[in-house]
Amino acid sequence: MSTEENNTINYLDISIHRNNDNMDISIYRKLTCTDTTIQFSSNHPYEHKIAAFRYYIYRMITLPITEKSKQEEWKTVLTIAKNNGYPVNTINNLKTKLIEHKQYPMTIPHNKKWVTFTHSSPIIRRITNLFKHGNMNIAFRATNTIQQQLTESRLIKIQVEYINLCVTHVIMYMSDSWADL
């Protein structure tokens, strides 16, 4: 556990500063903090990419920190977003939604059913958007588990699919080339 230095002690992700008559709380980051999140251009589900920023902003909104500390934290969040390729308006919209949600919390109906999709491409995202407006929640699962990677039949199937795809592209290229003659 850390010790108090200059009337300040760091505990988990907060820094507590003791004044004469009160305490100030601010957000603490270790010196080894890398500010790395999932890149915005990655093929991860949007919810996974935005999860770290949802946490940072929610922490900033809910902790009883000073306005100065909130402004410093907001600058840090925007810097992290910029360094990881996120548009600033995406982060601003997330902040607005979280503030609104804090003021007017929604109740989630418990009668929704869950549907699981394998996340493998951005097309899956479009398909799952069709289900969001219904009475269903969406969950994603990965296809690259260790068991699946070690299954020889799956590797053979992937190789066959890849070969079929290559052959299809060659045939399409040849037919286009021959049509030009």
**Residues contacting residue 66 through CB under 8 Å, at least 6 positions apart:** 24, 25, 26
Do the bridges between strand 14-18 and strand 8-11 make them parallel or antiparallel, or are there none, so unpaired? antiparallel
Structure tokens belonging to residue 43: 């093929």
DSSP 114: E
Name residue 3's amino acid: T
Return the residue matching tokens 């251009």: 41
Structure tokens belonging to residue 126: 């479009």
Annotate 16-49 with b (16+ C-beta within 10 A) or e (fewer).
Answer: ebeeeeeebebbbeeeeeeeebbeeeeeebeeeb
Per-residue pLDDT of the chain (181 residues; tens, 9 = 90+): 577 777 788 888 888 888 888 888 888 887 777 788 888 888 888 888 899 899 999 988 888 888 888 999 999 999 999 999 999 999 999 999 888 887 766 565 566 677 777 766 666 667 767 766 666 777 777 666 655 555 555 555 666 666 666 666 656 655 555 555 4
Global pTM reads 0.59
